[in-house]
Amino acid sequence: MNERQTFQPSPETCSGAGVNDKAIYREAAADRETFWAGQAGQLDWFKPWEQVLDESNAPFYRWFAGGKLNAAYNCLDRHLKTERKTKAALIFEGEPGDQRVLTYQELYREVTKCANVLKSMGVRRGDRVAVYLPMIPELPVVMLACARIGAPHSVVFSGFGPGSLCDRINDCRAKLVVTADGGWRRGRITPLKDNCDEALAGCPSVEKVLLVRRTGKEVNFTAGRDYWYHDLMDGAPAACPCEQMDAGDDLFILYTSGPAGKPKGIVHSTGGYLTGVAATHRMVFDLRDDDVFWCTADIGWITGHSYAVYGPLANGCTSVLYEGGPDWPQPDRFWALIEKYGVNILYTVPTAIRSFMKWGTAWLENYDLSSLRLLGSVGEPINPETWLWYHQHVGGGRCPVVDTWWQTETGMILIAPLPGVTPLKPGSVTVPVPGVEAAVVDNAGNPVPPCGGGYLVLKTPWPAMLSTIYGDPDRYVAQYWSRFENAYFTGDGARWDEDGYFQVMGRVDDIINVGGHRLSTVEIESALAEHRTVAEAAVIGKSHKLKGQAVSAFVTLKEGFTGSPELAAELKTHVTRKIGALARPEDIFFTPEMPRTRSGKIMRRLLWEMAEGRVEADLDGPVAAARHGI
């Protein structure tokens, strides 16, 4: 198969596709506001908006100003008036194989009860709730319960360690934390409650902890602070009215790594966010009424927020949640799930696909994957070889692959094909979705000619855009709206071709992307520098066959300490405890000194070349003394 090949939408894909006329691009570009207002009109509003886009205080754009709605109402209540009432909203499978299906009616009941539990614990409209849960149904239940009562949630990925949890809770001064006695991951229990207890020692804002029983593992229980979820749910009333939220009210905060280390609380507002995710979920995945949709991303990341919870539920579709690892108990778990639940749309990350390629096609052969109609990819560049493998072996050559580019900040997919109209090119995210304007520009902000490379920018606001950085509006302006005039800077490098198709190359700042997960090198450096033996640390992302990038750390030790495999192992564990296993360095290089420019800056490029093995490590020189890849 030719990797430069273009895939035209097949007749099967076009027939019945929600969007099968490419005029949609032209029409949306001619009047973006009318286009997005049309999408917003598919939600239920308590009060219509007065203005589609208020630009009076740009770049603090306000979408659907004056409108009132509730996200939980749109994801649940409104479906109960239709035949969706008895349809599966969530299909859950735990790693040990336990299953739970919640219909829209059942999910509604769980959410209203949970909303009353939150209220009984003192949570009021505007209070922030931190949620540190594994991929179990209680996670979306708590999110929607928060949305129902107007308390912004801040979900912290359950793979993060106590240090990251503590920072995130403190930044938004959460009043309540919801966690569990653990979650299952590759046969082991993640110690969520222990991590939470450790974090809470440094979190004065937290008054109470709501504890979900998942694994049955014994955990510490602090009377007066900790409450069992099931105890409170048992006695909670089921009726709970919705708060009428302004379109611009915060729906949630989600932390992500930003340049210069400290994680940023990305704030998403109710009306614009829900409009954007519901619309793109319908358009990009060509959603049909009876679709079973499976987004494999953890809800702790934006992909899970937008396309495992809010998008699918706002559209009344069935969303699959799976708790554990793709290779547990063996590397066919995904295929078994697809066959068992008749999944029609699979949305996953290239890292996972590269692992499946490595494990071999034999794992797929015994499964009936004919229910699949569409495949999606997100989070990192997908190279043509991986795209073609996905298309051929998972999609049987018949399912379009939609490669979707977006970010925590953008809230919704911004660059991706519409399967019924957009020809696909493996390795390209294709073109901006209707109503979105993107460009590749040079250093001065001028568009580069076709086939050139430069910075990826967004030229006009879009509904699900972040509204600010929590507690730091100046940083919002500085980081996104100051690098180029009148454009949002994505932090990504990209190229475009003669057809206007985009290819995203990766970050141009100090963010690295490990298996589709975004990490800041500065944050890892700070964690290392906190270790008693470390004088200085420099972290770079080196290429990795499966994960795209992996963490490599260069460390200078304090006087009196010497590098050893044992110390390297200790430092790796230290980073895992501080940030989480994702940030664990693959290699630690001990070096007596960092290589520097004349102005004193660390020469990261040289470190990167060394980590890649492109330049020889000079054992006596300042750049590397020993490599301890454990």
Contacts with ligand PRX, residue ranges (CB under 6 A): 256, 302-303, 378-381, 403-408, 429, 490-492, 504, 506-507, 513, 518
State the sign of the Cα–Cα–Cα–Cα dihedral 598, 601, 605, 610.
Answer: positive
- Closer CB to ligand PRX, 72 or 494, in the complex: 494
Least distance between ligand PRX and beta carbon 553 (Å): 21
Q: How far apart are CA 273 and CA 255, in angstroms?
A: 16
Shortest gap between Cβ of 503 and ligand PRX (angstroms)? 8
For 268, residues 6+ apart whose C-beta sits below 8 A from its C-beta are 250, 251, 252, 253, 254, 411, 464, 466, 467
Return the number of the residue (275 or 503) whose C-beta is nearest ligand PRX.
503
**What order of strands is seen across the sheet that includes strand 401-404?**
99-103, 88-93, 318-322, 292-295, 345-348, 374-378, 401-404
Does a cis peptide bond (omega within 30 degrees of 0) precede residue 59? yes
Nearest to 595 by CA among 521, 547, 540, 529: 540
Closest approach of ligand PRX to the CB of residue 262, in Å:
16
Considering the complex, what minimum distance in angstroms separates the CB of residue 167 from ligand PRX? 17
Smallest distance from the beta carbon of 405 to ligand PRX, in angstroms?
Answer: 4
CB closer to ligand PRX out of 182 and 491? 491
Closest to ligand PRX by CB, 76 vs 346, is 346
Nearest approach in angstroms of CB 507 to ligand PRX is: 5
515: alpha, beta or left? (left if phi > 0; alpha if psi -120 to 50): left
Placement of tokens 């260069």 in the chain = 554
Q: What is the DSSP letter of 89?
A: E
Residue 196's alpha-carbon distances to 94, 123, 187, 380, 604, in angstroms, are 22, 19, 21, 30, 35
Torsion sign across C-alpha atoms 270, 378, 9, 30 = positive
CB of 197 vs ligand PRX, minimal distance in Å: 28
**Gyration radius from the chain CA atoms:** 24
Our CB check for ligand PRX shows the closer of 13 and 490 to be 490
The closest of 404, 380, 406 to 515, measured between CA atoms, is: 380
**Taking phi first (over 0 means left), then psi (-120 to 50 degrees means alpha), and beta for anything else, what does residue 560 get?**
left
User: Shortest Cβ distance from residue 542 to ligand PRX (Å)?
Assistant: 17
The tokens describing 351, both together, are 């890292």
Q: How far is the CB of 494 from ligand PRX (least distance, A)?
A: 9
> Which CB atom, from 3 or from 618, has the smaller least distance to ligand PRX?
3
**Which structure tokens are listed for 266?**
């990305």
In whole angstroms, the minimum distance from the beta carbon of 407 to ligand PRX comes to 4
Distances (CA, A) of 34 to 416, 437, 536: 21, 15, 54
Give the nearer residue to ligand PRX in terms of CB position, either 263 or 491. Answer: 491
Q: What 8-state DSSP symbol labels residue 602? A: B
Which residue's CB comes closest to ligand PRX? 408
- Residue with smaller CB distance to ligand PRX, 157 or 590: 157
Identity of the residue, 148 or 305, whose beta carbon is nearer to ligand PRX in the bound complex = 305
For 54, other C-beta atoms within 10 Å of its C-beta total: 18
Nearest distance from C-beta of residue 357 to ligand PRX, angstroms: 18
| Sign of torsion over alpha carbons 500, 506, 509, 515 | positive
In whole angstroms, the minimum distance from the beta carbon of 229 to ligand PRX comes to 29
Report yes or no: 545 and 515 within 8 Å, Cβ to Cβ.
no
Minimum gap (Å) between residue 413 Cβ and ligand PRX: 8
Give the residue with the Cβ less far from ligand PRX, 258 or 563.
Answer: 258
Consecutive H or E run containing 188:
strand 188-190
Total Cβ atoms within 10 A of residue 102: 20
Choice between 150 and 395, CB closer to ligand PRX? 395
Q: What is the distance between the alpha carbons of residues 428 and 452, in angstroms, rounded to a whole number? A: 14
Q: Are the beta carbons of 402 and 377 closer than 8 angstroms?
A: yes
Q: Which is nearer to ligand PRX, 351 or 404 (CB)?
A: 404
Smaller CB separation from ligand PRX, 74 or 430: 430
